[in-house]
C-alpha cells in the first residue's frame, strides 16, 4: 500500500502554460504575451510583488467554474493572474517546487481575489473567485516561460 505522502506526490500528467499576462503598473490592464522572463522578483515587465507573491497562477479549469458563479465574462485578463495553466491541480502543489518553462517556482499559498473582481465580473464577482482565484508563487530559479511550456512538479 502506498503512503499518503506518495499519493500526494503523484500526478496523472504534467500541465502546460495556456496564457501569460503582464500588468505594467497597478490597476493597469493586463497585456497578453507569448513569452516572458521570470526574474527573482517576478515576470519582467509586470507590476509584481517580490517574495511569496512574485508570480500568480490560476488553473484554466477554474475559469468556467468562476463564470458559473458570477454575472461577468471570465477571461484570464479579468482575473489578473500572470499564468493560466491547465492539466495539473495547483492546489496539490502548495509548498512544493514546480518547473514552469525554464523557471522553477514554489507555490506559496492561495491568491485571494481583490476588490476589482466586483468591478470586473459584476455583482458577486468577488465571492465567485474565492477559493478558485489561483495561487501565489515565489521564484526559486529565474527563467523564460512561453505559451505551451510544461508545468512539472
CA 82 to chain centre: 6
Strands 83-86 and 55-59: parallel
Per-residue pLDDT averaged across 89-118, rounded?
Answer: 93
DSSP state letter for 147: T
Q: Is the pLDDT of residue 18 over 80?
A: yes
Report the distance separating Cα 101 and Cα 97, nearest Å. 13
Query: What pTM was computed for the model?
Result: 0.91
Q: Is 7 or 81 the better-scoring residue by pLDDT? A: 81
Report the distance separating Cα 5 and Cα 92, nearest Å. 11
Q: Is the pLDDT of residue 12 over 70?
A: no
With CA atoms as reference, report the closest residue to 31 among 98, 65, 61, 76: 76
CATH number of 13-152: 2.40.33.20
pLDDT of residue 25: 85
Q: Is the pLDDT of residue 72 over 90?
A: no
Per-residue pLDDT averaged across 1-22, rounded?
Answer: 83
pLDDT of residue 113: 87
pLDDT of residue 11: 66
Report the distance separating Cα 84 and Cα 56, nearest Å. 9
Per-residue pLDDT averaged across 19-42, rounded?
Answer: 93
pLDDT of residue 149: 98
Q: How many helices (H) and strands (E) does the chain have?
A: 5, 11
Mean pLDDT of the chain: 91
With CA atoms as reference, report the closest residue to 16 among 72, 95, 98: 98
Residue given cell 503598473 in the structure block: 25
Is the backbone of residue 108 left (phi > 0), alpha (psi -120 to 50) or beta? alpha
Amino acid at each position: 500500500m502506498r503512503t499518503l505522502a506518495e499519493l500526494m506526490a503523484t500526478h496523472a500528467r504534467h500541465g502546460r502554460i495556456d496564457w501569460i499576462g503582464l500588468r505594467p503598473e497597478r490597476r493597469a490592464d493586463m497585456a497578453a504575451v507569448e513569452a516572458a522572463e521570470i526574474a527573482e522578483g517576478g515576470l519582467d515587465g509586470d507590476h509584481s510583488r517580490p517574495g511569496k507573491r512574485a508570480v500568480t497562477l490560476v488553473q484554466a479549469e477554474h475559469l468556467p467554474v468562476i463564470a458559473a458563479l458570477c454575472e461577468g465574462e471570465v477571461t484570464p485578463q479579468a482575473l489578473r493572474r500572470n499564468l493560466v495553466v491547465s492539466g495539473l491541480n495547483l492546489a496539490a502543489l502548495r509548498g512544493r517546487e514546480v518547473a514552469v518553462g525554464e523557471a522553477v517556482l514554489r507555490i506559496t499559498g492561495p491568491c485571494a481575489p481583490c476588490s476589482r473582481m466586483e468591478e470586473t465580473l459584476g455583482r458577486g464577482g468577488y465571492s465567485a473567485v474565492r477559493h478558485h482565484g489561483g495561487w501565489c508563487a515565489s521564484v526559486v530559479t529565474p527563467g523564460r516561460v512561453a505559451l505551451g511550456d510544461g508545468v512539472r512538479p
